[in-house]
């Protein structure tokens, strides 16, 4: 998720673009760059680090010109560096572009272009498209862009300009957001509304498959085949703060709703088009290593450790390897008994959690290979691990982790499937059924928003004064219960405990009294009967039971007080769907209790100290 800004008009473009990028830094901030055309020549300046670093670098030599673009990066392909920062150009420097998204087939297109003599200067997928446009350019930039986009697969929001056509920007969108802004004698492009609000409230959302041609007088929209598209501007009445949250009240709710896109982008390029196999390219392990591998140790903290509780199941079921989970703060002092036969998987959204980092160093001191699963390219965890598998959730601003958790589960599922394939433990049909269902997750999460969100909000409003809550489940549902309890605790400040449902009778049941809320996860068919008896146990003590279950289990509603039904999927992937109502419940409880949802008391987004 990156930030893009484009401007064409009569004013100096650079200050307008830099100000727009500042308003989009929440979309990514590991490098920034601008490109300005003065009517004949394009000046390109970019640097690693936050936008303020670029501003300092160009303060006394601001590029001149009234047409240009800018980019603030959230790295996906290619670590944060000056070279990998956008904008990128073709061989001549005459064609320059910025991009938000992921080109899945960039390596094959790059090989083709290099064979034609193109020289790449960065590791990014974006630069490949700049050279492809160069190779397709005859005498019209928009035509060259349209032709090039037919040759790439993936997600994009791009802005392109050429010295051969000064005063003109060409843009296009597929899956990544892009907005066109209409001014007086000037026009704008941006990833998101906040960048445009100081200049205009007349905007158009660029839709998937549309190409935009703009100069200071007009904005034209076409399809990829060049067919014109008529669009009417809308008037945006948001204030800046509302716009940064995409119109949502809090970043947490925005990030919950970003999960369908985050899931899609994390999946991108990791499942063959026919769904028949999973390919985690980052998992560079040899056949010899595979043969000596005896077990997997997952290490993480907080929510990431609960994602590992789900991931452990995937590694055991799909790869046939014993797997265990340890929190970083315990592992690092536990004197672990391990060696090269153990693969360590370290999971961290920020990639900066001190306990997880220390655990990685401990594991490596025992000769273990380490795979990191992280959301931040170039983070400390990614640099210290032997292999890195990125989640593409985009920046997670709210302290309470939601979209990162979901993409961590997804990445662990892909890792388990790929390990299982390499070890011949899982057959292609099984891989296909799980991988095929992974592709359906985004749509099924959208269904939960549509069907369940308003009821959950109402239920939270009615029950926001409850003193405590219990989350119970068995197997994968117990792992989901752990995350549900943490979400509720950390933002609503209601004490909540997760319990393996079979454990209740060994003590906790003493705490269940009249009206105690018990959230029962009942998504695993093989454990459903056992869960029904645990539900009876707590009902007999006066509990109010809210069940989370797959659609179609109407009989369950006879045994509980309320039930939230989520779309069905294979049992292994139910944790991805079952957690969404729990995230929403925690969010609306915190709102009803008047808490600072995005910045809960006592907590930090990344715990970089012991």
Q: Which residues are catalytic?
A: 2, 605
400 belongs to the binding site for ligand AGP (CB under 6 A):
yes
Taking CB under 6 A as the binding criterion, the range among 69-77, 334-342, 358-366, 399-407 that sits at the site for ligand AGP is: 399-407
Taking CB under 6 A as the binding criterion, the range among 133-141, 253-261, 396-404, 502-510 that sits at the site for ligand AGP is: 396-404
Q: In angstroms, what is the minimal distance from the CB of 601 to ligand AGP?
A: 13
- Separation of alpha carbons 111 and 117, rounded Å: 10
What is each CA distance from 554 to 449, 454, 551, 560, 568, in whole angstroms?
A: 20, 20, 8, 11, 13
Q: In angstroms, what is the minimal distance from the CB of 405 to ligand AGP?
A: 7
In 222-375, alpha helices (H): 240-244, 251-257, 259-267, 287-292, 302-319, 328-331, 354-365
214 belongs to the binding site for ligand AGP (CB under 6 A):
no
The smaller minimum CB distance to ligand AGP, of residues 70 and 302, is found at 302
Taking CB under 6 A as the binding criterion, the range among 156-164, 301-309, 460-468, 564-572 that sits at the site for ligand AGP is: 301-309
399 belongs to the binding site for ligand AGP (CB under 6 A):
yes
Contact status, residue 206 vs residue 196, Cβ threshold 8 Å: no
The smaller minimum CB distance to ligand AGP, of residues 35 and 304, is found at 304
90 belongs to the binding site for ligand AGP (CB under 6 A):
no
> Which residue from 47, 176, 353, 524 is in contact with ligand AGP, where contact means CB under 6 A?
353
Contact status, residue 169 vs residue 181, Cβ threshold 8 Å: no
Q: In angstroms, what is the minimal distance from the CB of 361 to ligand AGP?
A: 15
| 579: alpha, beta or left? (left if phi > 0; alpha if psi -120 to 50) | alpha
606 belongs to the binding site for ligand AGP (CB under 6 A):
yes
Instruction: Tell me 587's DSSP state.
Output: H
- Separation of alpha carbons 132 and 146, rounded Å: 11
Q: Which of 250, 358, 347 is closest to 302 using CA atoms?
A: 347
How open is the CA angle 35-242-54, to the nearest 5 degrees?
A: 25
The smaller minimum CB distance to ligand AGP, of residues 135 and 303, is found at 303
480 belongs to the binding site for ligand AGP (CB under 6 A):
no
> Which residue from 348, 380, 391, 407 is in contact with ligand AGP, where contact means CB under 6 A?
348
266 belongs to the binding site for ligand AGP (CB under 6 A):
no
How many positions of this chain bind ligand AGP (CB under 6 A)? 15
**Peptide bond connecting 87 to the previous residue in cis, omega within 30 degrees of 0:** yes
Crossing angle, helix 574-592 and helix 441-462, to 10 degrees?
A: 30
350 belongs to the binding site for ligand AGP (CB under 6 A):
yes
Residues near 427 by beta carbon (within 8 Å), at least 6 away in sequence: none
607 belongs to the binding site for ligand AGP (CB under 6 A):
yes
The smaller minimum CB distance to ligand AGP, of residues 236 and 607, is found at 607
- Separation of alpha carbons 540 and 519, rounded Å: 15
72 belongs to the binding site for ligand AGP (CB under 6 A):
no
Helices (H) and strands (E) in the chain, counts: 19, 25
Q: In angstroms, what is the minimal distance from the CB of 356 to ligand AGP?
A: 5
Q: Which of residues 168-207 bind ligand AGP (CB under 6 A)?
A: none
Taking CB under 6 A as the binding criterion, the range among 77-85, 233-241, 302-310, 411-419 that sits at the site for ligand AGP is: 302-310
Residue with tokens 């709710």: 253
279 belongs to the binding site for ligand AGP (CB under 6 A):
no
Contact status, residue 341 vs residue 295, Cβ threshold 8 Å: yes
301 belongs to the binding site for ligand AGP (CB under 6 A):
yes
356 belongs to the binding site for ligand AGP (CB under 6 A):
yes
Q: In angstroms, what is the minimal distance from the CB of 235 to ligand AGP?
A: 37
- Separation of alpha carbons 103 and 223, rounded Å: 19
304 belongs to the binding site for ligand AGP (CB under 6 A):
yes
Residues lying near ligand AGP in the complex (CB under 6 A) are found at: 301-304, 348-350, 353, 356, 399-401, 490, 606-607
């Amino acid at each position: 998720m990156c930030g893009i800004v484009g401007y064409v008009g009569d004013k100096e473009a650079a200050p307008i673009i830099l100000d727009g990028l500042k308003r989009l830094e929440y979309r990514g901030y590991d490098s920034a760059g601008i490109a300005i055309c003065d009517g004949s020549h394009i000046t390109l300046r970019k640097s690693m680090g936050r936008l303020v670093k670029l501003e300092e670098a160009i303060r006394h030599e601001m590029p001149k010109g009234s047409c240009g673009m800018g980019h603030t990066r959230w790295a996906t392909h290619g670590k944060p560096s000056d070279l990998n920062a956008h904008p990128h150009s073709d061989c001549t420097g005459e064609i320059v572009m910025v991009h938000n998204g992921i080109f899945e087939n960039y390596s094959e297109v790059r090989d083709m272009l290099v064979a034609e003599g193109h020289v790449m200067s960065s590791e990014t997928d974006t630069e490949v498209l700049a050279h492809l446009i160069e190779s397709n350019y005859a005498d019209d930039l928009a035509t060259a862009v349209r032709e090039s986009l037919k040759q790439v697969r993936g997600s994009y929001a791009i802005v392109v300009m050429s010295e051969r056509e000064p005063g003109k920007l060409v843009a296009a969108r597929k899956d990544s957001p892009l907005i066109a802004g209409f001014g007086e004698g000037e026009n704008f492009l941006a990833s998101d509304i906040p960048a445009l609000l100081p200049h205009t409230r007349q905007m158009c959302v660029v839709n998937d498959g549309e190409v935009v041609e703009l100069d200071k007088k007009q904005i034209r929209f076409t399809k990829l085949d060049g067919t014109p598209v008529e669009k009417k501007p809308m008037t945006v009445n948001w204030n800046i703060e509302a716009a940064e949250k995409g119109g949502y009240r809090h970043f947490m709710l925005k990030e919950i709703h970003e999960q369908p896109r985050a899931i899609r982008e994390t999946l991108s390029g990791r499942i063959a088009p026919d769904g028949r196999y999973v390919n985690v390219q980052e998992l560079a392990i040899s056949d010899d290593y595979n043969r000596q591998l005896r077990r997997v140790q997952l290490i993480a903290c907080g929510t990431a450790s609960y994602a590992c509780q789900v991931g452990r199941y995937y590694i055991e079921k799909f790869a046939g390897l014993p797997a265990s989970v340890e929190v970083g703060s315990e592992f690092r002092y536990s004197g672990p008994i391990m060696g090269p036969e153990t693969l360590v998987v370290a999971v961290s959204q920020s990639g900066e959690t001190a306990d997880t980092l220390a655990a990685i160093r401990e594991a490596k001191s025992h000769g273990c290979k380490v795979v990191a699963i992280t959301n931040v390219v170039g983070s400390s965890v990614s640099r210290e691990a032997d292999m890195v598998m990125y989640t593409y959730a985009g920046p997670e601003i709210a302290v309470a982790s939601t979209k990162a958790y979901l993409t961590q589960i997804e990445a662990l599922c892909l890792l388990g499937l790929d390990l299982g394939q390499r070890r011949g433990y899982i057959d292609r049909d099984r891989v296909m059924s799980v991988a095929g269902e992974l592709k359906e997750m985004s749509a099924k999460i959208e269904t939960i928003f549509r069907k369940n969100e308003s009821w959950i909000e109402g239920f939270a409003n009615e029950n926001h004064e409850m003193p405590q809550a219990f989350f119970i489940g068995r197997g994968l549902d117990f792992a989901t219960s752990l995350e549900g309890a943490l979400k509720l605790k950390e933002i609503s400040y209601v004490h909540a405990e997760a319990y393996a449902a079979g454990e209740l009778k060994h003590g906790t049941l003493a705490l269940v009294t009249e009206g105690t809320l018990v959230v029962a996860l009942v998504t695993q068919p093989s454990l459903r009967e056992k869960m029904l008896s645990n539900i009876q146990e707590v009902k007999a003590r006066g509990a109010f039971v809210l069940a989370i279950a797959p659609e179609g289990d109407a009989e369950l509603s006879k045994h509980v007080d309320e039930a939230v039904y989520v779309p069905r999927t294979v049992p292994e992937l139910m944790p991805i769907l079952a957690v969404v109502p729990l995230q929403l419940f925690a969010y609306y409880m915190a709102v009803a209790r008047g808490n600072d949802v995005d910045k809960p008391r006592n907590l930090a987004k990344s715990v970089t100290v012991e």
